[in-house]
Amino acid sequence: MTAVSSTIYLVPIIAACGLLFTIVILGFMHPRVTGAKATAVLALSVSLWQVGYLLELISPDLPQKVFWDKVQWIPILLMSLAAFKLGLIFNTPHSRIWLLPLTIPPLLFCLRLFMDSEQSLIYPAPMLLENPPFSALFYDFTPLLAAALAYVYLLVGGALLLLARAFFRTRRRERIRIGFIFGGLALGAALHLILTTFEVPLLGQRDVSPLACTPGALVIAWGVWRYRLFDLIPVANGKLFESMSDAVVILDADSRIIELNAVARSWAKTSVQPIGQPVETVIPDWKAKFDRYRNAVNVETEIRITDYGASRFINFRIEPIRNARGDLVGRLVVARDITQSAMLLERLRQNEERLRIITDNIHDMVAQIDQSGIILYASPSFYKGLGYKPDRLVGRVGFDLIYPEDIPQMREWFEAFIVHGTPRSYITFRCQHADGHLVWLEASGTMAYDRAGQAGGIIAIFRDVSERIELERAQLEQERLKVTLQKEKELSELKNRMMVRIGHEFRTPLAVIQTSSYLLENYLESYTAEQRRAKIQLIHDEIQQISAMLDAISDVVANRLTRQSLQLEPVSLEALCALTVDAIRTTNGAKRAVTLETHGSPTVFGDYAALQSAVNHVLKNAVQYSRNGNSVQVTLSEQEGEAIIQVRDEGIGIPADEQHRVFEPFFRGTNIGESGGLGLGLTIAQAAVIAHHGRIMVESDVNQGTTFTIRLPALSGKQTPIPHP
């Protein structure tokens, strides 16, 4: 046996050990990732199993080979326990309690294994078979070995059942990761079973089961870390944590500050480093609530604090933080300044109270007035209503009490009564109170007849409606406040949607940047120059993608796309649509057919870049939400002085109750799932079309398809469009 041939036989085992040790290192470097430690232990077990197998191969005599074969049982049993631990992690927070009893049989077997000095129970009559380049150990399986192997398969099978149970009880993102772990365990178990059952030789040796578990361990590791994105989520969470508009404080179990964001730091009233300090020391305004809810677990309440003489209302929420075992290890405190909302609600309450008081104190006044307008009778309620005693009113001309500006309309109302007997039912006017202030009255009346049946004037009923006028004004104010409050809620929802979409869309490019940077930093020397340029170009591309998303957000927020911002020139829509469709075809490949049908070649006076952006966004939407194999059709025509661009797809459609919201920033339909996108494309498209004095409309049926129609004013004369690349 030459050194070269020995090396060739050992290379696969050594390479597999190297890969597995990489998984072990990653597992212990990322302990916060669910399943990381268990995966690391599993990979460590398989690698130690391979090391034991390697030492067995190179051992020259029978006793040493038997010893190292015994040693391999320790990592085999540990591997099965780690596999079962993976299944428990995704099903219960108390995995340690379930796992402890299962370790007893492996411990007893290992003790019996190394105490069997005669090797009668486990290794009866072992022998060496000469099979170059290494001699192979051969022995018969005893019942005890068969029981140990059955126990291993029982634990792995239980892990597969637990993972299958978790797969159907968790969300989609976790399903992908659990599916990888399930597939890795199943792959390793299947390969081991096939190779050991049929005694498939590898490199001339009898036992290849250690290598059989390596692919499964690699699949499991991919599932654990690929869908946790390494350290990206903690970094992204840190960015979101600092940018939140609410004050957020993380406390340990003793109410000491572990972390707080910028808003919470601005509320702190101490120059001492807040980390590690009791929260009531750093933010004294919270002391009363913490004293009251110190032992509470989940609380939401409001507090009122006074800061430099001004009152502030704070929405105060305390939520528990638990570890994987379900033990309380800390609290999350979120405080939001709701002063403006609370003041609006208080003003609404005051208005409602005012309305109640008004409705409880309304009294009518009754008067008899002859045909010349002289008051013949006044009810006692005039004193309370206008401050005049009835005897002071009788004999006076009623018009003398009316505010001068309202006299003409009152004469018209009165004369209609006298002449026709059919005046307007009600009239509202102002009357002077005895103390000089004006009172709003509402008048209604009926004809008064004498005993002979002749018209002798009118019976008028006056109602003080000053409160009602005030009420109407209060209602207007209330409506204004409600509109303000609604706008504030909508703005808050928009901010939440924006943060969610930004966080979601930034994760992928940031993950690519993080991974590429890590690879360049740690494995720079192992890459060729071309590979380095590819990694750097990948980082540049992802940075440009992030920059493009930020530009889109900035344009929408700042409303930069206006008529004044356009660079107007004659634009050929036929050429524009052709270039846009070609670009989409290039990026889309053969997944969906994109066709262009033109009826004429309309020209518009507009900004080429803005119009191309609008068509591009609408077309991308159609392609993105069409099923593979379905076509997307773009039709260009001209009708009645308008250029018409229609984009029709056969995709998932838009629910009818959501179609009016598709152009809102960051809005995403309820039926699109987890597809990418910020939700700004149609917003930008609409802004561009409106800036060109055009219109954009949508028609859609769920699961049938969607049609977007863009109408733009067409140029009537023969003007040559400026060509664009």
Confidence of residue 231 (pLDDT cuts 50, 70, 90): very low
Q: What is the mean pLDDT of residues 369-397?
A: 84
Q: Is the pLDDT of residue 109 over 80?
A: yes
pLDDT (0 to 100) of residue 496 = 66
- Encode pLDDT of 150-189 as tens digits: 888 888 888 888 888 877 766 555 677 678 778 877 887 7
72 Cβ neighbours under 8 A, 6+ residues apart: 49, 52, 53, 56, 210
pLDDT tens for each residue of 394-432: 888 888 888 888 888 888 888 877 777 665 568 888 888
Q: Band of the pLDDT at 232, cuts 50, 70, 90?
A: very low
Q: In which band, very low, low, confident or very high, does the pLDDT at 646 lie, cut at 50, 70 and 90?
A: very high
Q: How far is CA 423 from the centre of its chain?
A: 63
Over 70: is that where the pLDDT of 341 sits?
yes
Q: Which of 101-105, 500-504, 561-565, 594-598 has the lowest mean pLDDT?
A: 500-504
Residue 700: is it exposed, middle or buried by C-beta count within 10 angstroms (0-12/13-18/19+)?
A: buried
User: Which of 640, 661, 658, 649 lies closest to 711, judged by CA?
Assistant: 640
Do the Cβ atoms of 255 and 290 come closer than 8 Å? Answer: yes
**List of residues 6+ apart from 674 with CB closer than 8 A:** 172, 173
Residue of 709, 598, 582 lying closest to 649 (CA atoms):
709
Given a contact cutoff of 8 angstroms between Cβ atoms, the answer to whether 394 and 378 are in contact is yes
Q: Is the full-model pTM beyond 0.85?
A: no
Q: What pLDDT digit, counting tens, does each position of 298-309 carry?
A: 777 777 777 666
d(CA 350, CA 354): 6
Question: Mean pLDDT, to the nearest integer, of 661-686?
Answer: 74
- pLDDT recorded at residue 421: 64
Q: Identity (one letter) of the amino acid at 321?
A: I
The pLDDT value given to residue 213: 67
Task: Classify the C-alpha dihedral 104-110-111-116 as positive or negative.
Answer: positive
Number of alpha helices (DSSP H) and beta strands (DSSP E) in the chain: 21, 19
Residue with tokens 């492996």: 106
